[in-house]
Amino acid sequence: MIPFRSDDEVRGAIPDVVVHLVRHGLIAYPTETVYGFGSTASTASVAKLAALKGRDPAKPFLLLVSDLGMLQAVGLRLTDTAERLAAAFWPGPLTMVLPGGEGILPPMLRGPEGGVAVRWTSYAHTAQLIAALGSPITSTSANKPRRPPALNGSEVAESFREQVEAGELLVLDAGTLRPSQPSTLVDCTGMKPRVIRVGAIAPDRLRSIVPAIEER
């Protein structure tokens, strides 16, 4: 467990966490919704994350970024709709499925709609870590299959004690997070944007920016 609450703790932790990620290590970290598991967006790291999560490789993970430039660096494209939604709701609990990234991002990150899900996190300390890494990290809820997402770092460390003790998983402990809704998920790859999952941002708020948005 690595303390990850105060600005000083975060600054002190980031160099070692970045090295761990670059070496294909996994982390559990706080977000604006729940604790997440993450890695770099390399094929080797994503495969290790899928094994930790016990997840079907066909079910993709999303990416977290700390600025729009990271999208361009991995070849993802903001459609006109996505650009308008990003201007209104990023950083924040809006995840958008974007086109692009072919030949740069692992196929395991690509969903059935053909795009890659991305969110610009509004959790300041996690955004600070991503900025220091200089590239996106993957994200999936920190829990075992069919268990609720973790809201506490100690809970993650206990549930995945073997991986923590083996040094495979670092838990960035920000204490207990306040319960919140998951991010709203919008597919921006098709002719019309489509809400795939309703979450923290209601469809009516999305339509105030892009009236053409459809619900699944």
117 DSSP assignment: E
Q: CB burial class (10 A; 0-12, 13-18, 19+) of residue 101? A: buried
Q: Which domains does the chain have, with CATH numbers?
A: 2-215 (3.90.870.10)
Confidence (pLDDT) at 57: 66
- Measure the CA–CA gap between 107 and 60, rounded to whole angstroms: 9
Strands of 45-152 (E only): list them.
62-65, 94-98, 116-120, 137-141
The string of pLDDT tens digits covering residues 28-56 is: 999 998 999 999 999 999 999 999 998 77
CA gap 133, 80 in Å, rounded: 28
pLDDT in tens, 113-144: 789 999 999 999 999 999 999 999 999 999 98
What integer best gives the mean pLDDT of the chain?
94
Please list the ranges in the chain whose pLDDT falls under 70.
57-58
Kindly give, in sequence order, each residue whose CB lies less than 8 Å from that of residue 16, ignoring residues fewer than 6 positions away: 2
Residue 83 has a pLDDT of 97
Name every residue whose Cβ is closer than 8 Å to that of residue 8 and which is 6 or more positions away in sequence: none
